[in-house]
A and B are shown apart, each in its own frame.
Chain A
Amino acid sequence: MKTDQVPVVPGLLTLDSSGAHLVGARCKTCLELYFPATQTCRNPICVSNDLESTRLASSGTLYSYTIQYYQPPALFKIDNWEPYAIGLVDLDDGVRVSGVLSDIAFDDIRIGDRVTLGALPLYIDDSGLQRMTHAFFKLDLAASDGAAAQ
């Protein structure tokens, strides 16, 4: 990752040579995972509040999706906005996360698709930094087989 790329919100994701990872938290007692990271364990059967920062799984399965055809309120900043897909993904470690579904034709989106987490450039901020968000990309089966073989 280039050094001028930063998460759109500090603490959202890590961007390094291993790719993009969402940053969550894990309860050291009950091992429950949270995204975004929480200060307290929300699991009602656990009374611990001892959490540690952790990277979440970077692949998952598409649970559902939508395509937003209207531009959201101004808090969402993206260069060259156009209708885009958002997916709801069951990450392989059990956390269900929503995120932009990127680089995929709307007609090719299928519930059950295997997806992988990446970073998507949104806009250049006032200090010239490229603000990045998390996004899901469809995992090409042939490509993932290739990756597994490496």
Chain B
Amino acid sequence: MSGVHILGAGAIPWGKQPVITQLQMALEAINAALRDAELNWKDVDGVVAASSRFEGGMGWGLHANEIVQAASERGVPCINVGGACAAGAIAFQTAFSMIASGQSETVVVIGAERMPKGFIPRPPGGADDITDNDFLRWVTMGLTNPAYWAMEAQRRIYDYKTTHESLAEAVMLMRRNAVYNPNARFRKSVTAAEVLASPMVTDPLHLLQICPVSDGAAALILCSEKFAARAARKSVEVAGVGIASGTYGDPAHRIPTVGGSVKSGVPHTSEVMSAAEKAMAMAGVEHDDVDVLEMADNTAWHLLAWPEMLGFVEPGQGDWMLQNHKYDVDGELALNPSGGFLSFGEATTAQAVLQICELVWQLRGEAVGRQVPNARVGMSAVLGLGANGGSVVLKR
């Protein structure tokens, strides 16, 4: 027993939000989570925000401070954490630690992001020279983020005879799930022909096989076991949480690197695999115990490869699992019943929080239309730039 529970989850619909500010998005998500928890701002004694470099946060990533100044300025601790696309998971870990240490009783975790359009560009701050990989990859070859994943997908086709159809099948599953998620951006199911007819962006990945960027926000209310026992609302237990950075020799060609060394015995995407291993060990769960997995599907390739790398199925088995509906909402392992990033779009700092929101709704049996039957154990996995991995295991 970790002693930490989740009492509320809230999110806003994701998509393009031309009018609403980043701060407003954050406040809406937090208020939804507070309503869900049947609490209000007076009950909150800490805010941890996933810190963004794109917008808001007074230009310094001070999102938690900006939020409390707008909503409830009562001296509560404000913590702003980085971690790029995994920042939400790192914010969650931070809030978890605050409660597990006994320092706080109820902590808000928030991720809210308005994304710039198009390929995610190089952020400011790096030196324009060879020491900065994010400069080097652009000027030497214009290597875009999805092209890194495309090279993984191309290699998978070579190693496991993965077909273009199974890469399309992954998108079809995400869209089928998203039909029932009111917060998803793309809620129309698609056919394999539609996926494969969408423009080729970076071979073998078509437009619909790559998650776009979205504006979005998601929030969670974490609390102590004592607080949860007194609360009116049913809570979900945080059984395990893990964050990790990468291991030297990782075979993944890591964004935004141009060169690296591959060492035998180092797992692919080691930051995520290490985080997941920690979360599962802490929770005391085996792969068979996990009913629902919410994982980062930046592309269709991820949906084939990650469940294998996480140890849920054998290497190369992902295609078969997908084609035989084993990853469906009512399959052996429900994969992204939310619809995933392919249906939401990537709102970098918010997405790991959204994954955990979905697990809460699934474990409480509230995911109408996409409910995983009798879901008892849920797990998340996310990857962020800088080799940041995060994973959470929740139990009903």
Q: Which residues of chain A have a CB within 8 Å of any CB of chain B?
A: 8-12, 22, 24, 32-37, 39, 42-44, 63-73, 75-78, 86, 88, 90, 94-100, 106, 111, 133-134
How many A-B pairs have beta carbons closer than 8 Å: the answer is 131
In the complex, what residues of A have CB within 8 A of residue B143's CB?
A: 72, 86, 98
Interchain CB contact under 8 A, A65 and B260:
no
**Which of A69, A86, A88, A133 is in CB contact (< 8 Å) with B199?**
A69
Instruction: Given A36-B130, A37-B130, A66-B203, output 16 extra A-B contacts at Cβ < 8 Å.
Output: A34-B259, A36-B131, A36-B133, A36-B258, A44-B248, A64-B154, A64-B158, A66-B147, A75-B135, A98-B143, A98-B253, A99-B140, A100-B141, A106-B203, A111-B155, A133-B140
Which size bracket describes the interface of B in this complex?
35 or more
Q: Which residues of chain B have a CB within 8 Å of any CB of chain A?
A: 118-119, 121-122, 129-131, 133, 135-144, 147, 150-152, 154-155, 158, 199-205, 248, 253, 258-262
Q: Indicate whether A63 sits within 8 Å of B155 (C-beta atoms), given known contacts A8-B139, A69-B200.
A: yes
Q: Indicate whether A133 sits within 8 Å of B141 (C-beta atoms), given known contacts A9-B136, A36-B131, A36-B259.
A: yes
In the complex, what residues of B have CB within 8 A of residue A94's CB?
A: 261-262
Q: How far is the CA of A11 from the CA of B119 in the complex (A)?
A: 27
**Which of A44, A69, A97, A134 is in CB contact (< 8 Å) with B203?**
A69
Interchain CB contact under 8 A, B248 and A42:
yes
Q: How far is the CA of A141 from the CA of B34 in the complex (A)?
A: 67
**Which of B121, B137, B154 is in CB contact (< 8 Å) with A65?**
B154
Interchain CB contact under 8 A, A77 and B258:
no
Q: Indicate whether A35 sits within 8 Å of B258 (C-beta atoms), given known contacts A75-B135, A111-B155.
A: yes
Q: Chain A residue with minimal CB distance to B206?
A: A69
In the complex, what residues of B have CB within 8 A of residue A9's CB?
A: 129-130, 135-136, 139-140
Q: Indicate whether A66 sits within 8 Å of B154 (C-beta atoms), given known contacts A9-B140, A88-B253, A94-B261.
A: yes
Some 18 contacts from A to B, beta carbons below 8 A apart, are A8-B139, A12-B136, A32-B261, A36-B133, A42-B248, A64-B158, A66-B147, A66-B202, A66-B205, A68-B202, A72-B142, A73-B144, A75-B138, A86-B143, A98-B151, A99-B140, A111-B155, A133-B139
